Amino acid sequence: METIRMNIECPSCSGTGLYVGMGEGKGTAVICHKCNGTGAFIYSYSYTIFKSRKVITNVKRVYLSGTGYRLGLGKINFLNGVGEIDMDKEGVSYNEFLNGEKPKHIKKLACPMYVDQSRCHGIKGFIDECERLNNGYIGNISSCKEYKQPNIIYCWDRFERNTNINKKGE
C-alpha cells in the first residue's frame, strides 16, 4: 500500500484560513475548522499500485450495462413487450473479456437514447426522428412507442448507422 501526502489549498476556506458563513456578521470571520487557519490542508490518499488485472472465478458473462435491469444468465422474459432475451448469447464470456473483447449494448433492453443520450443528440436528425415516431416531444424515454416494442431495433439501426458514419469521418 502506497500513500501520497500533499499540502493543498484548503477546500473549505479557499486558502484564506478564514470562514465566513451565515453566522458571521458583516466584517467578521472565524478560523477555518478544516485547516485551523493555515489556509493549507494536508491531503492523504492511500492506494495499491496496479500490477495486473486480477482474475475472479465466479463470473461467466460480462455485459456493458444492465440499463436498470437486474442481469442474469439463461433466457429472460420481459414484460415490457420485448419478449425473450437469451443472456447467454449477449455480452461476452469472461474469457473473451480477459482477452480484450468488449461487450456491446443489449439492444432489447434499452434504446440508444437511454444508453447514450449525449451521442444521440450529436447525430443530426436523430432526436427529430424520435419525436416524429411519437407524434411530438418525448419527455420520458420509457414512454417512447418504439421503446416498448421489438421495433427498438429500428432505433439501434439508425444510431449505429450514424455512429459508424461519424467514426469514419473523424
Domain spans of the chain, in order of start: 2-47, 52-108, 110-170
Give residue for cell 461467466. Answer: 60
For residue range 75-94, what is the model confidence (pLDDT) as tens digits?
Answer: 988 655 557 889 999 999 99
For residue range 60-69, what is the model confidence (pLDDT) as tens digits?
Answer: 999 998 887 7
In whole angstroms, how far apart are CA 139 and each of 12, 122, 131? 38, 18, 10
pLDDT of residue 170: 42
The residue that leads in pLDDT, 30 or 79, is 30
Output the pTM of the full model. Answer: 0.65
Give the span between the Cα atoms of 21 and 62, in whole angstroms: 49
Give the span between the Cα atoms of 152 and 109, in whole angstroms: 9
Give residue for cell 444510431. Answer: 159
Three-state SS at 107: coil
* Continuous segment of H or E residues that includes residue 112: helix 112-115
Q: Tell me the percentage of the chain whose pLDDT exceeds 70.
A: 85
How big is the chain by its Cα radius of gyration, in Å?
A: 25
Task: State the average pLDDT over residues 140-149.
Answer: 65
What's the half-sphere exposure (Cβ side, CA atoms, 13 Å) at 34?
Answer: 18
Give the span between the Cα atoms of 105 and 68, in whole angstroms: 13
Task: State the average pLDDT over residues 130-148.
Answer: 72
